Structure 1
Amino acid sequence: MLKDPRPGRVKTRLGRDIGMTAAAWWFRHQSAALLRRLDDPRWRLILALTPDTSVLTSRRWPTHLTRVPQGRGDLGERMARQLRVLPGPTCIIGADIPGITPKHIVQAFNALGTHDAVFGPAPDGGFWLVGMKHPPKPMLFKNVRWSTPHALADSIATMPDARIATVATLSDVDTVTDLARF
């Protein structure tokens, strides 16, 4: 899932530390590097973009990749929609995690062989990856406290009967302190 890297619309917490233009620049280059790393014949890479108009207008992303709109709603509604409409086992990742490698994606898909869902936890209580074997139930991601230390636990709570696996814990970049680690 990607936001069009416009200053003031992407990585705003990082932007408060380094400036909105610099934060958007970082996100654009981080996302491009991630897409190059993960463009792999073992899976189909699809870009779920926001705002929806960027599906047609953005020239920032590789043209050979399928683009779909994220649609309206909070993060949970947008992720649940992608998990419902995309075929087969599906994994969703954010683009602001510099440490993601193809090995992590393979581990997530392998976990879906014996589990209903998989999460890639983040140290801050959120997650960098969510994957599901089957389309989600309607309550998926309802009442999740996004951007808090409770996001992963709240998300798991919306899947009471699911067999859930976890893969590697990876960090995202939200602040200048996070950026300095990479």
Structure 2
Amino acid sequence: MSARPPATGPATLLVIAKEPVPGRVKTRLTPPYTHQEAAALAEAALADTLHTALKAPVRRRILVLDGVPGPWLPPGFDLVSQGSGGLDERIAAAFGHCDRGPALLIGMDTPQLTTELFTGVGRDGHDAWFGPAADGGFWALGFADPARAAVLVRGVPMSTDRTGAMQRRRLVEAGLSVSDLPVLRDVDTAADAVAVAACCPPGSRFAATLNSLVEEGR
């Protein structure tokens, strides 16, 4: 019996994020930034990501949130809470909110994201999509069949410099055809923030927020 071809068509876009509360987000930015400033940068990065998602030609948009929504959340998203457990468990659970068709999950740490980076997701005939991060993690992960995430994400050690390689290996070893998206840099440190802001498109809230802090002498 031949394998079922992967699903094609517009994807569900999942954004997994944490409410930008001082002291709970972007703590590696402190110092040089205060907890309030780090949270302001996190909120700007999240807002940029969500507004980019609004421009993406997708079937459905879901914000998978740890916390409660604020004025930074624009209309056009279904809102669900993150599950419990480690990040691997929460990512796997996020895909469980997709009812059918391909799905792509992104984070809130790449405000330089543009829709052109994932235009082919869901339409190019692959089984999976993988966006590596410069620090060894990943900024995007997608499946033609989101149910595969339950097995292929759980158990992958997160937040290491080998996370991306291990996650991609899981996909390949499962026999999936993988489309690699461009490498992006996450915002984790102050140096990351400066480098990412320089790559952001015009009108970026993240770049404007960072520039305002620089002008204040941070």
TM-score calculated relative to the size of structure 2 = 0.74
RMSD in angstroms over aligned alpha carbons? 1.8
1:106 aligns with 119
Query: Using the alignment, how far apart are the partners of 1:97 and 1:41 within structure 2?
Result: 15
C-alpha separation in 2, matches of 1:41 and 1:153: 27
CA deviation after TM superposition for structure 1 residue 139, in Å: 2.8
Alignment of 1:19-168 (within 5 A): 19-40=34-55, 42-43=57-58, 44-51=60-67, 54=68, 58-87=70-99, 88-110=101-123, 113-134=124-145, 135-136=147-148, 138-159=150-171, 160-161=173-174, 162-168=176-182
- The answer as to whether partners of 2:83 and 2:94 remain within 8 angstroms in 1 is no
Q: Which amino acid aligns with 1:180?
A: V
Deviant stretches of 4+, over 4 Å = none
Gaps of 5+ in 2: 1-15, 198-218
Amino acid at match of 2:155: N
The counterpart of 1:176, out of the listed 190, 194, 204, is 190
Q: Does structure 2 conserve the Cα–Cα contact (< 8 Å) formed by 1:120 and 1:170? A: yes
- What stretches of structure 1 of length at least 5 have no aligned partner? none
1:31-56 Cα shifts (integer Å, max 9, x gaps): 112222220362122111013xx2xx
Relative contact order (C-alpha < 8 Å, sep 6+): which is higher? 2
State how far apart, in whole Å, the 2-side matches of 1:41 and 1:149 are: 29
Q: C-alpha distance in 2, partners of 1:130/1:101?
A: 16
Query: Structure 1 104/18 Cα, relative in aligned 2: closer, same or farther at 3 Å?
Result: same
Identical amino acids, percent of aligned pairs: 33
| Amino acid in the other structure paired with 2:97 | V
State the SS of the aligned residue for 1:147. coil
Aligned to 2:32: 17
Distance between the aligned counterparts of 2:117 and 2:56, measured in 1?
15
Q: Give the conservation status (yes or no) of the 8 Å contact 1:15–1:21.
A: no
Q: Which moved more, 1:157-166 or 1:23-32?
A: 157-166
